[in-house]
Structure 1
Amino acid sequence: MTSKKFPNIVPEFLSYVLYETQSSRESIEEPSTPNQLLLAEELVTELKSSGLQDAHIGKGGVVYGTLPATPGCEDCPGLGLIAHMDTSPDAPAVNIKPQILVYEGKDVLLNPEKEIYFKEESFPEIKKYLNQEIIFTDGTTLLGADDKAGIAAITACMDYLKTHPEIPHAKICVAFTPDEEIAKGTVNFDIEHFGAQYAYTFDGGEIGTLETENFNAATAFVQIAGVVVHPGLSKGKMVNSLKLAAKLISRLPADQAPETTEGYEGFIHPNKVEGTVASTTVRILIRDHDKAKFEAKKELLKKLVEEIQESEPRAKVSLTIKDSYENMRPYLDQAPKVMEIVRQAYREAGIEPIEEPIRGGTDGARLSTRGLPCPNVFTGGMNYHSVYECIPVKSLEAAADVALSLVRLSSQIKSLK
């Protein structure tokens, strides 16, 4: 299990996942949950021990640290390595119990007491990792590989550089962000303070994947105010906001749902409903890689909301749509050298890049739109935001290898043009 190059990567990863760092969409604090700061403090300590003496927690809980350039590389563009500390609020994440099991080509028993299995039929991707050690949970919580695997890959790389000072490199800028899962990871990210001219988020999926484009994203909130009357006396009077919410959800196109789409296909996804007869709120995610189709989905939702209002004039139905992030592809197209560098880093690590769109978003998308080109590198995990989340040990080590390749190449980059 121990990697010769990165002997501490698995123990460090296992220690990170024990921190309860779920972010919260409902919170107005920065970061959204205080436990993220506990991990941030630990990471500052680790970065300082690896030679990043300026490591500190900045505004909003963002961790920054810099490894100065080696002699002769001071004029090379600064390289950024980024991962996020929070885990998804979409699955249980308290009392995580990671376990390392060898996948032997059959269903994996995760929890004998509760008879929870990781089933090949449901997750056929696992077949690519026959006879490998894989880190699972006990099937009751997510693992946190999204994105503590990214953190582990970066810290393992920094550990390696400490014991191999002979490796030349440009200034290496490290950052760990909070609240990425709730689209707030870069709200307080200070690009100028960070100091990199180009960067890579380590927040991707299976080994070899390289992501240069992501969804355009928005979140819609439908507010429905009904009319409350005692149910025994309500004929012709009551307007049940819950039923109107159900009607709206039933009219969303079945072929534009997460469970029926893949690749470049976008979706309209109701992911939270809260309410009573009197008042109901429906939260709906809108996603598409194509900007025109993205806007068309917004217009469709507006039309459906108007139809619900027209069907029941006594109710009050309103819609608010807030954009979350953009597709980073147009911005990365303006920085082709950044992509050339990462493709070379994959190949120097013995991995052929598999370029594919992200069916989601990353901090890198938001940073790219703000002028810091930032593609997304794999971390090796699977089934994120799920109690069936897992990560092959070799894939995690491979992510650290790519980080190290990027560091080595940074000494050869004189210009990003």
Structure 2
Amino acid sequence: MTASVLDRFLRYVVIDTQSDPASKSQPSTEKQKDLGRILVAELLELGLQDAHLDEHGNVYATIPSNTDRDVPVICFCSHMDTAPDFTGTDVKPQIIRNYPGGDITLPGDVSQVIRVSSHPQLNNQIGNDIVTTDGTTLLGADDKAGIAEIMTAAAFLVANPEIRHGTIKILFTTDEEIGRGADKVDLEKLGARFAYTLDGSTVGEIENETFSANGVSIEITGVAMHPGYAKGKMENALKIAANIIARLPKDMAPETTEGKQGFIHPVAMTGGMESAKITLITRDFVDEGLAEKEALIEAIVKDVMAGYPGSSYRFAVTHQYRNMKQVLDRHPEIMDNLAEAVRRIGVEPVQHSIRGGTDGSRLSFMGLPCPNIYTGGHAYHSPLEWVSVQDMEKSVATIVELVKVWEERAAS
């Protein structure tokens, strides 16, 4: 299985599937379908006769049940797109066989170094095989490692029918990296009761909790005036916006928070003298924390605007996603079965919270409870991204054990 998961991974990462947040279509880039078509062909070759690509680029397939037990239908899901944060064009994967330890200098850009001091997980990889890029692109382990693992597990289950399991659904989505991964998923067609995303990181970490997330926009209308005659009259909207950003609490930013701490993060400021717009995101593990942060932002806005009596503002909050733990806690068997599968591959499960979101966040609130499983990838969204082949293999083994656990614990 090890060679198979590596072969698949290397085949998938060279396909450019970067999503585009500026696009209004879904998929946001047609090139995501290039990978989708390859996956459908491979699934059909495995004998999964219903495998297909829909108009939105989502891939669906079914591994039929081979047991008489009443096993809930479960789905395994990963996303095909890579992040807009760094280029995914012309990926050149590098394989370091029998990793000896130490920093890894990437050959395409020697200024890019995967340092053990910044990536202590490398200390657990001595003797393993590490896949990196050449330093000029991201790798795409987020989430092509997950795709390769699901595909490899599917091939293994089809080839070994003596492994009893219920009906298994496979779902590969588009545009997860820009927050739209679940937008066009047809849950009725999918027909699953529970699901698992393969979109995590360190082996052993199983994730049933994400941030809750909102977006905030502040539109400012200032007072425009010829700068030569502006004294006492001009109210520069861009300066007002900069003043608001400068007032945001420094101890409530992504760069100063960790663990269960939420944050306020300005992501864009646009405009000029007459009008300006600030776009922010707020994150917290509880909804009350979001509300407090948004109240704090608006209090800052009001305080700043008091110094500009001729100007006005519009403050808007948009819902993005919610902490999936609110849903998953109502179905404890999902995490219990996953924890048992992790133990069966010889790893102690660690329940972990995601300082971000996954397709599982949205799917859970759409009616498909969906925690997250590790893929073995690290340093996502950057040219320093890397993954261990042996860790990918452990993810494959986890999927196989998980379907066995669900079958064993089902009513006969």
Of the structure 1 ranges 62-71 and 230-239, higher mean CA displacement relative to structure 2 is found in 230-239
**1:8-37: CA deviation from partner (whole Å, max 9, x where unpaired):** 211211221122222222221011121111
Contact 1:77 1:415 in 2 (8 A): no
Partner of 1:389: 385
Q: Write out aligned runs for 1:316-395 (5 A).
A: 316-395=312-391
In structure 2, the partner of 1:65 is: 61
Structure 1 CA distance for aligned equivalents of residues 267 and 72 of structure 2: 42
Task: Find the aligned partners of 1:336 and 1:312 in 2 and give their Cα distance.
Answer: 53
What is the letter of the counterpart of residue 39 of structure 2? Answer: L
1:132-191 CA distance string (max 9 Å, x none)? 221112223221111111111100111112322222211110001111112211111122
Give me the whole-angstrom Cα distance separating, in 1, the residues matched to 2:198 and 2:238: 41
Whether the 8 Å contact between 2:219 and 2:277 is mirrored in structure 1 is yes
Aligned to 2:200: 204
Superposed displacement of residue 373, structure 1 = 1.6
Letter in 1 for 2:274: A
Aligned to 1:79: 74
- In 2: Cα distance, 1:415 partner to 1:232 partner: 82
Q: Distance in 1 between matches of 2:163 and 2:279?
A: 50
**1:98–1:225 Cα change, 3 Å:** farther
Question: Is 1:219 matched up with 2:224?
Answer: no
- Structure 1 counterpart of 2:328, one-letter code: L
Give the drift of 1:317.
2.3
State the secondary structure of the residue aligned to 2:19. coil
Instruction: Give the Cα–Cα distance (whole angstroms) in 2 for the partners of residues 237 and 94 of structure 1.
Output: 50
Which residue of structure 1 aligns with residue 164 of structure 2?
168
Structural RMSD (CA): 2.0
Give the Å deviation of 1:231.
4.1
Shift of 1:370: 2.3
| Cα distance in structure 2, aligned partners of 1:24 and 1:113 | 25
| 2:88 paired with 1:93 | yes
399, 406, 410: which one aligns with 1:410: 406
1:6·1:160 contact (CA, 8 Å) conserved in 2?
A: no
- Aligned equivalents of 2:298, 2:92: Cα separation in 1: 44
AA in 2 matched with 1:79: I
Q: More deviation in 98-107 or 203-212?
A: 98-107
User: Is 2:154 aligned against 1:158?
Assistant: yes
Q: Distance in 1 between matches of 2:45 and 2:229?
A: 71
**1:330 Cα deviation from its structure 2 partner:** 1.9
Change (3 A) 1:231 1:76: same
CA change 1:225–1:21 in 2 (3 A) is farther
Amino acid at match of 1:87: T
Aligned partners of 1:356 and 1:350: how far apart in 2? 18
The alignment's TM-score, normalised by the length of structure 2, stands at: 0.94
Contact 2:36 2:59 (8 Å CA) reproduced: yes
Would the alpha carbon gap of residues 146 and 113 (structure 1) be closer, same or farther in structure 2, given more than 3 Å must change? Answer: closer
Relative to structure 1, the CA distance from residue 236 to residue 17 in structure 2 (aligned partners, 3 Å threshold; closer, same or farther) is: farther
Match of 2:260 among 246, 261, 264: 264
Q: TM-score, normalised on structure 1? A: 0.93
Superposed CA deviations along residues 253-298 of structure 1, whole A, max 9, x for unmatched, are: 1111111111111111112233333333222111000221121111
Q: Secondary structure at the match of 2:330?
A: coil
Change (3 A) 1:311 1:90: farther
Alignment equivalent of 1:128, drawn from 94, 118, 124 = 124
Find the aligned partners of 2:58 and 2:301 in 1 and give their Cα distance: 38
- SS of the aligned residue for 1:408 comes to helix
Which of the residues 272, 276, 283 maps onto 2:272?
276
Q: Does structure 1 retain, via aligned residues, the 8 Å contact 2:105–2:111?
A: yes
- Shifted more, 269-278 versus 207-216: the winner is 269-278
Residues 2 and 390 in structure 2, CA contact (< 8 A), matched pair in contact too: no
Cα distance change of structure 1 residues 282 and 18 upon mapping to structure 2, 3 Å threshold = farther
SS at match of 2:72: coil
> Partners of 1:212 and 1:334 in 2: how far apart?
12
C-alpha distance in 2 between matches for 1:35 and 1:125? 33
Query: Residue type of the partner of 1:82?
Result: C
5 Å matches for 1:36-55?
36-55=32-51
The Cα of 1:87 is off from its aligned counterpart by 1.4
1:352-401 CA distance string (max 9 Å, x none): 11111110111112111222221110011111122211111111111111
Q: Which of 172, 187, 197 is equivalent to 1:191?
A: 187
Matched, 1:288 2:279: no
User: Quick one: distance in 1 between partners of 2:223 and 2:89?
Assistant: 39
CA distance in 2, matches of 1:68, 1:187: 26
The runs of 5 or more residues in structure 1 that have no matched partner are none
Report SS of the residue matched to 1:111.
Answer: coil
Q: Which residue of 1 aligns with 2:22?
A: 26
Greater Cα offset, 274-283 or 353-362: 274-283
Give me the whole-angstrom Cα distance separating, in 2, the residues matched to 1:53 and 1:375.
Answer: 27
Counterpart residue identity of residue 105, structure 1: G
- Count of residues in correspondence between the two structures: 411
